Amino acid sequence: MRASISILTLAATGAVLGGCAADPRMPESGYQWERRQDRIEQEWRARQAKAAPAQPTSTNGAPAPEDRF
């Protein structure tokens, strides 16, 4: 009886720890994280450029009022 309880405990522990395994899709090294972040930023900038084209400036290229003096 005691052996079956310990086997069940080990099986349950293994199932719990197996469910907490690292996500294989996530980068593992610092280099991979840096590349992932660069890719995310480039994709974000591309979406921003498509979503809102550059607006003309209200001062027609003149310096902002706080920069005139």
User: What is the per-residue pLDDT across 6-62, written as a single tens digit (0 to 9) for each?
Assistant: 676 766 666 555 666 656 677 789 999 999 999 999 999 999 888 876 666 565 666
CA distance 48 to 62: 25
Quick one: pLDDT at residue 56? 61
Q: What is the pTM of this model?
A: 0.41
CA distance 69 to 66: 7
Query: Where do the H-state alpha helices sit in 1-69?
Result: 2-19, 30-51
Please give the distance of CA 44 from its chain centroid, rounded to a whole number.
12
